[in-house]
């Protein structure tokens, strides 16, 4: 059984754009989630990732990451609601909880948690599409000139997600084999084991990479292989999305504040920004025809 | 005289936070072109020594090093695996961490590409190594759908493809079928002979490789306990640690024949010189301890014309093809067959982890399956947290681990971890007799020395005496002969042989014990029974009385 976010070769424009262009493009969508906090803009970024994922035929990866992101998001909203004692609109007074004692829950704290959850969801979906669509071998080659002296850095960047995805499947399979009287494997225990195990395995893989000569001799990339198509359009769109988000942030477009009361800016520039992200995200796919072009 | 490839003087090494040294006062020299087997019980320091020879110790594992270790003139304390990588290839025990690419072809091309080899040279080298290891059909498969044995072969090919001066192998045959295991040893011998590649193999199944080696080194408690010729190793092992002797050497020792033979050919010649010719007959197996007296009635596993299809992400293929199989409660069955034959899939189907597309798989009394990597079952820091409550304690008691309630699973030894994994999969699945209807184990002997394999065989015999059926997928013929009363041989997803162990492991080239091959007899013969037969023949030849 393979993980839904495991890489599979696909004949889609994103897969054929090469590791660098695909990384720039998908990272730009994550950048929107990092620099903008307006829920409408975040929703636009999420829609952009969905457009990219569906066009890249990575629907399973999108769905899986959305499930995980949603679960994590609910947890974040609840924790923030209980821990952040700010906000004017208190909806639960004096709730008593162990360790926390008497606590108030405000609509603003829940909304702040919701924004954080939305950000994480967008980033997780973008990385899931990346993991499913971009060949990790090409990512590794791409990183070699940049991280030649550190196979571990390269492994963590290029292989951690695929390793974690493979481990998730294996650990899930092992969890299903436990007897009914063994302690059930909760999500927290599985996540802890997954993170620790994936990091351990990443170190082992990095060691293998070192032994295979990763740091030996001059950096080289695959030569004579097929040259990616659509490089320019994905890079241009990626840069455009990133620049738009950073520019909007500097210009104060799409301002948002959860405290003291929830205030979502719904001005025209904000709505335009939110609409522009998915439209731009879909552009590189609009005129693509598929196929590879041989190098000279 | 040429410089030694490896020079070790007074090497001591302690892992971070370990109480004791894993290597102590090791002195060793390895010359270019030597083929050496590294023997030793589990935990004796073999793996650590291999890691030190390629720089992973101390550069990746940390810890304290004392003494001196040089590989190809490079001081390992100053030069890490990256610098040693051009002269040393390593194949470690766990093939899953040895594969860094997405497809097999990319994996094999990677080390050559890193060196800047031209595309044509890369393609030729990949083709050659794939043909040599009989894995050409795997080249375009994604690595994440390969079986453990296939992964081990890929890791081996990736280590060999760059033709390093020294190849370090940590139990390279543990997940290979007998044919692939023998072919691997032949290939290593050829590489060693034709290319002068020095080879250091850590191995528990010495009968596989000792005859091909120039030298044997035995480790015990982190020290070199023996270093010398293979025949001298056998003499030493018979005297100091019989678990490190081959079945052939034990046969000669038990039969009082003197000098232990190194390999089947030499053993046959020695017997022939004494008037014992190949038996050319089938030998019934001995009565075994733990055999059930009155077999409990009822079926433990009923597989009816089962077809299982698995999707590798690109295409679906039939992994099981019309398997028909029935196992009764109380039976001990070895499931054998070449890598990729469908053994793991059959076990997963028995445990209800894969669905059939046609046919049925029924395990009426329930099925507990212990996976290939027992560590995957451990998610908590205390044994008692893995198995809480009275039922959990009962499961621990059943595997003899009550004492380890407060221990961290990661601190247990290999054998104890395996027993804990068995306790976890069986917990709450015990029926009236306190055991599940069927217990399946997938390659449980990986990394176990002969003594621990014996413990495992005895423990499973105890389970079957209480009414459980035990089905073990294994490539280890000697273990199958000692554990099983029946063998099911899978080939390309079909049952191609199913019968008593004495019939299936009888007269074959590969699926036969070393003693059966030495005596030229049919039957799953182990050293004790073989010695009886030899004594009978010798007595008959001299007209004497047989002493049992």
Could you read off the pLDDT of B328-381 as tens digits, one per residue?
Answer: 999 999 999 988 899 999 999 999 999 999 999 999 988 999 998 888 999 888
Smallest Cα–Cα separation from B159: which of A206, A208, A159, A151? A208
Q: How far is it, in rounded angstroms, from Cα B19 to Cα A165?
A: 35
First-to-last alpha carbon distance for chain B, in angstroms, is 53
Position A58 scores a pLDDT of 93
Q: In chain B, where are the structural domains located?
A: 6-245, 299-519
Smallest Cα–Cα separation from B251: which of B544, B513, B523? B513
Task: Output the CATH code of domain B299-519.
Answer: 3.40.50.300
User: A-contacting residues of B 208-267, CB under 8 Å?
Assistant: none
In angstroms, what separates the C-alpha of A172 from chain B's closest C-alpha? 9
Q: In chain A, where are the structural domains located?
A: 19-134+229-290, 149-177+186-214
**What pLDDT, in 10s, does the model give residues B400-424?**
888 888 888 887 877 788 889 999 9
3-state secondary structure at position A252? coil
Q: Is A209 exposed, middle or buried (0-12, 13-18, 19+ CB in 10 A)?
A: buried
Mean pLDDT by 10 residues, chain A (296 residues): 79 90 95 92 96 94 92 92 88 84 90 94 94 87 72 72 80 91 86 82 81 66 61 94 93 85 86 95 79 43
Position A67 scores a pLDDT of 92
Chain A and chain B share a number of CB contacts under 8 A equal to 163
In angstroms, what separates the C-alpha of A126 from chain B's closest C-alpha? 20
Judging contacts by C-beta atoms under 8 Å, the chain B residues touching residue A166 are 144
Residue A286 phi/psi, 5-degree rounding, is: -60, -40
A217 contact B CB<8A: yes
Q: Which CATH architecture has domain B6-245?
A: 3-Layer(aba) Sandwich (3.40)
A155 contact B CB<8A: yes
**What pLDDT, in 10s, does the model give residues B297-308?**
689 999 999 999
Q: How far is it, in rounded angstroms, from Cα B242 to Cα B206?
A: 12
Q: How far is it, in rounded angstroms, from Cα B359 to Cα B308?
A: 9
Q: How far is it, in rounded angstroms, from Cα A137 to Cα B2?
A: 40
Which site among A58, A174, A175, A191 would you substitute to test the B interface, given the most B Cβ atoms closer than 10 Å to its Cβ? A174
Contact across the interface for A213 and B114, Cβ inside 8 Å: yes
**What pLDDT, in 10s, does the model give residues B476-508?**
988 999 899 999 999 999 999 999 988 888 777
User: B-contacting residues of A 104-143, CB under 8 Å?
Assistant: 135-137, 140-141
**A140: closest chain B residue by CA:** B101
Contact across the interface for B377 and A178, Cβ inside 8 Å: yes
In this predicted complex, what is the ipTM? 0.78
3-state secondary structure at position B237? helix
B429 contact A CB<8A: yes
B117 contact A CB<8A: no
């Amino acid at each position: 059984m393979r993980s839904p976010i495991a890489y599979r070769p696909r004949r889609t424009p994103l897969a054929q754009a090469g590791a660098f262009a695909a990384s720039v493009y998908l990272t730009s969508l994550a950048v929107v989630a990092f620099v903008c906090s307006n829920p409408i803009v975040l929703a636009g970024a999420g829609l952009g990732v969905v457009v990219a994922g569906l066009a890249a035929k990575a629907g399973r990866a999108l769905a899986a990451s959305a499930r995980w992101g949603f679960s994590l998001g609910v947890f974040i909203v609840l924790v923030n609601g209980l821990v952040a004692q700010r906000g004017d609109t208190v909806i639960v007074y004096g709730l008593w909880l162990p360790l926390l004692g008497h606590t108030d829950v405000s609509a603003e704290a829940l909304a702040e948690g919701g924004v954080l959850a939305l950000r994480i969801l967008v980033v997780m979906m973008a990385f899931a599409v990346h993991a499913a669509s971009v060949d990790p071998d090409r990512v590794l080659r791409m990183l070699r000139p940049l991280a030649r002296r550190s196979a571990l850095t390269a492994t963590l960047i290029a292989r951690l997600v695929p390793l974690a995805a493979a481990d998730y499947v294996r650990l899930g399979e092992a969890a299903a084999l436990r007897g009914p009287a063994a302690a059930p494997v909760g999500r927290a225990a599985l996540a802890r084991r997954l993170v620790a195990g994936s990091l351990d395995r990443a170190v082992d893989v990095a060691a293998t990479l070192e032994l295979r000569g990763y740091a030996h001799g001059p950096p080289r990339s695959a030569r004579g292989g097929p040259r990616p198509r659509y490089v320019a359009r994905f890079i241009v769109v990626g840069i455009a999305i990133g620049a738009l988000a950073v520019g909007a942030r500097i210009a104060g477009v799409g301002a948002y504040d959860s405290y003291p009361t929830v205030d979502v800016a719904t001005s025209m520039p904000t709505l335009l920004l939110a609409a522009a992200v998915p439209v731009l995200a879909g552009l590189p796919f609009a005129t693509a025809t598929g196929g590879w072009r041989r190098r000279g | 005289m040429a410089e030694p490839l490896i020079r070790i003087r007074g090497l001591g090494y302690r892992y971070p936070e370990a109480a004791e040294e894993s290597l102590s006062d090791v002195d060793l020299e390895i010359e270019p072109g030597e083929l050496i087997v590294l023997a030793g019980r589990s935990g004796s320091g073999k793996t650590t020594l291999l890691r030190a020879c390629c720089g992973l110790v101390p550069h990746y594992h940390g810890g304290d090093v004392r003494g001196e270790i040089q590989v190809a003139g490079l001081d390992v304390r100053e030069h890490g695996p990256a610098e040693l990588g051009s002269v040393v290839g390593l194949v470690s025990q766990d093939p899953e961490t040895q594969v860094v690419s997405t497809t097999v072809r990319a994996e094999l091309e990677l080390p050559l590409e890193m060196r800047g080899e031209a595309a044509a040279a890369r393609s030729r080298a990949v083709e050659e190594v794939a043909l040599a290891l009989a894995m050409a059909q795997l080249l375009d498969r994604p690595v994440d759908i390969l079986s453990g044995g296939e992964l081990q072969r890929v890791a081996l090919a990736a280590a060999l493809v760059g033709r390093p001066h020294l190849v370090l192998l940590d139990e390279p045959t543990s997940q290979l079928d007998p044919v692939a295991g023998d072919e691997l040893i032949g290939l290593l011998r050829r590489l060693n002979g034709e290319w002068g590649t020095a080879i250091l193999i850590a191995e528990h199944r010495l009968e596989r490789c000792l005859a091909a080696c120039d030298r044997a080194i035995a480790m015990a408690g982190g020290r070199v306990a023996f270093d010398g010729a293979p025949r001298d190793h056998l003499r030493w092992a018979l005297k100091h640690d019989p678990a490190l002797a081959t079945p052939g050497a034990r046969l000669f020792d038990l039969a009082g024949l003197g000098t232990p033979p190194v390999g089947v050919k030499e053993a046959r010649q020695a017997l022939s010189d004494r008037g014992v010719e190949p038996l050319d007959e089938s030998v019934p197996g001995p009565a075994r301890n733990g055999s059930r007296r009155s077999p409990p009635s009822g079926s433990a596993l009923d597989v009816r014309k089962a077809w299982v299809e698995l999707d590798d992400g690109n295409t679906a293929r039939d992994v099981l093809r019309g398997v028909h199989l029935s196992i009764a409660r109380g039976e001990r069955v070895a499931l054998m067959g070449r890598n990729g034959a469908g053994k793991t899939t059959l076990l997963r189907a028995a445990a209800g982890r894969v669905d059939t597309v046609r046919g049925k798989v029924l395990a009426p009394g329930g099925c507990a399956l212990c996976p290939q990597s027992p560590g995957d079952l451990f998610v908590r820091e205390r044994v008692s947290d893995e198995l809480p409550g009275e039922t959990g304690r009962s499961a621990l008691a059943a595997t003899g681990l009550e004492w380890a309630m407060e221990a961290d699973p990661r601190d247990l030894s290999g054998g104890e971890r395996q027993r804990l994994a068995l306790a976890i999969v069986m917990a709450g699945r015990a029926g009236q007799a306190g055991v599940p209807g069927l217990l399946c184990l997938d390659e449980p002997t990986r990394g176990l020395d002969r003594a621990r394999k014996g413990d495992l065989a005895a423990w499973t015999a105890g389970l079957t005496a209480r009414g459980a059926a035990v089905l073990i997928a294994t490539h280890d013929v000697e273990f199958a002969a000692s554990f099983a009363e029946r063998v099911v041989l899978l080939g390309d997803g079909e049952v191609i042989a199913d019968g008593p162990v004495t019939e299936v492991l009888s007269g074959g080239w590969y699926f036969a014990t070393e003693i059966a091959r030495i005596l030229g007899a049919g039957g799953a013969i182990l050293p004790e029974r073989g010695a009886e037969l030899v004594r009978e023949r010798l007595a008959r030849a001299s007209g004497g009385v047989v002493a049992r």
